[in-house]
Structure 1
Amino acid sequence: MPLISMRPMLKQARAGRYGIAAFNMIDYNSARAIVEGAAELEAPIIVQASVKTVKHWGYKPVASWVRLLAESVDVPVGLHLDHCTDLEVIKRCIDAGWTSVMFDGSALPFADNLAKSLQVYALTEQAGIGLEAEMGAIGGVEDDKIVKEGMAALANYDECVAFCKELPHLAVFAPAIGTAHGFYKGEPKIAYDLLESVAKKTGMPIALHGGTGLSQEQFDRCIAGGCAKVNISTMHKHCFIEGFISVQRENPKQSEPLPFIAHQYEAMKRDVKDMVRAFGSAGKATHAHAAAE
């Protein structure tokens, strides 16, 4: 299938009360594991790329990898730019074929975040692709953005409502609800009431950032509360590294690169399939495809 926008996918997921996994790719092998893992379970999927990843490999190579992978399977695949504050990077991704982007103005005062988000919103509406925007401060480390534990802050309900009113066709909205990027050091304190009230009032599909390490019960409650996009990055990176070095650990004399790459692929694909099942999107490819038509 051709790459599609995540907006109709997520709208359908919100209505169907399941979550679509959004994995941060690292390279071609990682992107292949994400797309093919989802395809094996007939699930819609979102392949995300951080700004750092895009700049490392290049705009056109990343877009072409994911486009070719999407065309080789019969499940909906979206290509998304994760956490970006640079309008020039966003423009270049749009030109290269991304089907959605995220403008992260969460570090800005409300008025500045809204103003810059509206600039990006105009670009994405013109291009016919989806936009994700964020309110509040989600803790942890994501790309080069570091929000220390004491600086994390829940989104303000009234500001969330006012923000979404100005951007009525957001593909997905990401209010800070107490989750964090990276591995959790303790039990995350998720503001379920805030999540549910924002989702109900705005009608928006909600993005759950900081999915690595949450329990099945927490995933279930967040998805039931309105989360339609669930981000997984840290665990995927862990599988990427561990899947490679475990071959060396088990067979120190192995000198052929392909067994390392194959083992890494299988480790990442298992993780993708575990998360797809956890979010309830297995078997939903036809459901999401119908919504995109």
Structure 2
Amino acid sequence: MPLVSSREMLLEAYTLHTAVAAFAAHHWDGITAVIEAAEEMAAPIILQTTPATVRLMGADTIAAMVRIAAEKTAVPVALHLDHGNSFETVMHCLRAGYTSIMVDGSHLALEENIALTRRVVEAAHAVGVPVEGELGTIGGAGDTTDNDAPGFTDPETAEHFVRETGIDFLAPAFGTAHGHYVQEVRLDFSLLAAIHQRTQVPLVMHGASGVPISSLRRALQHGISKVNVSTELKDAFRKALCQHLVNHPQENDPRRFFRPAREAVKAAARELLAAVSISPTTKATLTPPAMDGISE
């Protein structure tokens, strides 16, 4: 089916206390592996790219790859910009056909973050594309943080941020981090519950790789409706590829040595989908965004 907006996916997940899995899209094998996993689990998914991946591959190339893969499946697939770092990057991805946007102004002063996020919301909403914003600091897994740190999201400020920007989804900082966790994952569920109570919008968990399934499921009860995974997929791909090449040192055909790596990614995706996902929403409610309002 055509690419769809992430809005209906997340709103249904929010209502049902489940989540949509959002997988990093780095290459064709990874894209098709997670879509096959979604088909087998009958679950909607989001494929997403950071600005670094956009710079490397090109937004048009990424959008074309994901669109081709999505059109071959009956499960809903959205294409999302993760951690959009500027208005220009957002517009570039919208023009390429992205159907979901995150703008990350969390490194800015609050009012500057609000101004940037509001500007993105106005542009994206004009063409039917939902927007995720970030408040607080979701750092690397090796960073030292605690719930008294300035980087954690303040519930009252979060309410103000959501109201002033008009975002559809919020990525709060409550203990998760990007990359490999070097110590036990400690999520502040009381803080997450307070943010949820004040904002009343679907919330997004960044840095889900390595978070125990029990913690993922507990977070779903406090508004988490989108769960982002990248590191876990990259690790699965690397480990399977390395093992195959060790066992078959003379192998020189990528079609052969990518196969086990691809299956490992698919297995990792299935595990997350089994933990958090829902069945596909009725197709009639999952419509492609109207892109006519975006000029070249």
Cα distance in 2 between the residues matched to 1:83 and 1:241: 24
**TM superposition shift of 1:277:** 0.2
**TM superposition shift of 1:152:** 7.0
Cα distance in 2 between the residues matched to 1:206 and 1:80: 15
Question: Aligned-pair RMSD on alpha carbons?
Answer: 1.6
State the partner residue of 1:83: 83
Count of matched residue pairs: 284
Amino acid at match of 1:154: F
State the partner residue of 2:100: 100
Q: 2:230 matched to 1:233?
A: yes
Q: 2:167 matched to 1:173?
A: no
Q: TM-score, normalised by structure 2?
A: 0.92
Q: Secondary structure at the match of 1:83?
A: strand
Q: Secondary structure at the match of 2:170?
A: strand
Q: Secondary structure at the match of 1:127?
A: coil
Q: Secondary structure at the match of 2:214?
A: helix
Cα distance in 2 between the residues matched to 1:119 and 1:6: 19
**TM superposition shift of 1:200:** 2.4
Cα distance in 2 between the residues matched to 1:275 and 1:107: 29
**TM superposition shift of 1:93:** 0.3
State the partner residue of 1:160: 158
Contact 2:239/2:261 (8 A) holds in 1: yes
253-262 vs 42-51, greater mean Cα deviation: 253-262
101-110 vs 188-197, greater mean Cα deviation: 188-197
Q: TM-score, normalised by structure 1?
A: 0.93
Q: 2:33 matched to 1:36?
A: no
Gaps of 5+ in 1: 142-146
Q: 2:193 matched to 1:196?
A: yes
Q: Secondary structure at the match of 1:134?
A: strand
Contact 2:47/2:79 (8 A) holds in 1: yes
Q: Secondary structure at the match of 1:140?
A: coil
Q: Secondary structure at the match of 1:207?
A: strand
Amino acid at match of 1:124: A
Q: Secondary structure at the match of 1:12?
A: helix
Contact 2:158/2:198 (8 A) holds in 1: no
Q: 2:148 matched to 1:149?
A: no
Cα distance in 1 between the residues matched to 2:18 and 2:125: 26
**TM superposition shift of 1:158:** 1.1
CA 1:83–1:4: 2 relative to 1, 3 Å = same
Cα distance in 1 between the residues matched to 2:259 and 2:61: 21
**TM superposition shift of 1:22:** 0.4
The correspondence of residues 263-282 of structure 1 with structure 2, limited to 5 A, is: 263-281=260-278
State the partner residue of 2:241: 244
State the partner residue of 1:63: 63
Cα distance in 1 between the residues matched to 2:189 and 2:140: 19
Q: Secondary structure at the match of 2:239?
A: helix
**TM superposition shift of 1:288:** 5.9
Percent identity, aligned pairs only? 33
